[in-house]
Amino acid sequence: MARSTLQGNLQSWLASANNVAPSTSNQPAQSMAFQRWFKFKEAFAPSFVVETIGRLPYRPTMCLDPFGGSGTTALTCQFLGIKSVTVEVNPFMADVVEAKLTQYDPTELRRSFRYTAGCARRAWKRKNPAQGFPNAPSTFVEPGEGGRWIFNRDVSKAILALKSGIDDVPKEHHRRFLRIMLGSRLVEVSNILVNGKGRRYRRNWHRRAVSAEDVLDAFDGACSLAIADIEAFASKRRTSFKVLNGDAREIVRDCPEVDLVLTSPPYPNSFDYTDIYNIELWALGYLSSQEDNRNLRNSTVRSHVQITHQGEPAYLLSPTLTKTYRALAKRRENLWNRRIPEMLCHYFEDLQAVLQGCKAVLKSGGYVVLAVGNSRYDGILINVPIILEEVVDKLGFDLIRTEAVRSMRTSAQQGGSHLLNESLIWLSVKGPRGDHQRKDT
């Protein structure tokens, strides 16, 4: 595709963003085509990817994001004409990424959508919620447990009817798309709210009257909106991509050779990002047992304390980490969870493993750009950039620069003030830098 066409498509796509919020936040992208398919809080904006690539001394041809999330890096690269590899451990989010990047025939996709919606409208009354979500948490479907449930019976029936219709669609990439559209509306028709800190029940949730028709209408709206995005940018992108679902600590080193790594790892904030998307995972069949759930949690970077992590804490990875770990250990009784000091060490040990894998597939002279954030526990700062600088020096990277890009609020327990920095760390592989095509060639 001609460079002028790429630029025109890119600018048209970016134009719908709310550019008031910082580009390292996903707030500007909530209204953008493709990005609005699924609300994903933990992300940077496409403009951040464009700006970062524009600051490189070369034009990359293949970009790796080992923490794919909602696919912002890969999607923006597709608009830029850059090939991409995305690694994402959450199977639902991996499908979100692939659904966004896939090329569709809008007419055929609309036909599959209408077939699914029609089947569901005819069949939902015959579905049995008690049999439709095997081994899901006890509060998943009415009557739930302890007087609480996430989905009422009619909503559950409509979800099951839509799932059955989706399963009957012949084309795999259509099934994936329709599954994501259903997933994008599950919280909306549930009794809960989800934010970056987890799930909670809505105020007066037991008085909500959500019907099967509401579910079917929400699905129709999601599909219509997404297909409109596809039609609006039908000629926007033909760049190849690869999406790998798995543990970044293990599979990054098996990726194709790349000349840029651009990513934002989970922050060491003790949130379980798997749990935040637990509803979609269970409702859509990505999880079918508690063992599946444990395996997924164990496959994620150890930035949370919801499960006990195995192994000795690697607090000697860096001098700053050693001091931080010992300070936290002394205040263990004051921490909201006693395992936080060990979690922190495991977190940096995992990031070291991912960066080792990135280095194995990164061309000489290639860049790594990390968007990272600090944390704070009982007044003790977790200075993520400094610790990572000390870790990567042993891995054979050159530190180009570290720059603060915005401040973030601490938790309510810490007063909620803007005390935490979000930073960009720029690294390159040690060695000659003549392997890339210059931008001006």
**pLDDT for the residue numbered 412:** 41
| 362: helix, strand or coil | strand
**pLDDT for the residue numbered 418:** 43
Which amino acid is located at 299 in the chain?
S
Q: HSE on the CB side for 73, CA within 13 Å?
A: 31
**pLDDT for the residue numbered 21:** 45
pTM: 0.91
Contacts of 44 (CB under 8 A, 6+ apart): 23, 24, 25, 26, 72, 264, 371
* CATH architecture, domain defined by 3-90+239-280+288-429: 3-Layer(aba) Sandwich (3.40)
**pLDDT for the residue numbered 436:** 47
The residues of the chain scoring below 50 in pLDDT are 20-25, 408-418, 433-441
**pLDDT for the residue numbered 269:** 84
**pLDDT for the residue numbered 419:** 55
Classify residue 289 by burial, with Cβ atoms within 10 Å: 0-12, 13-18, 19+.
exposed
* pLDDT one-digit tens code per residue, 422-441: 899 999 987 654 444 444 43
- In the numeric block, the tokens 């994501």 are attached to 180
> Please, where in the chain does CATH 3.40.50.150 lie?
3-90+239-280+288-429
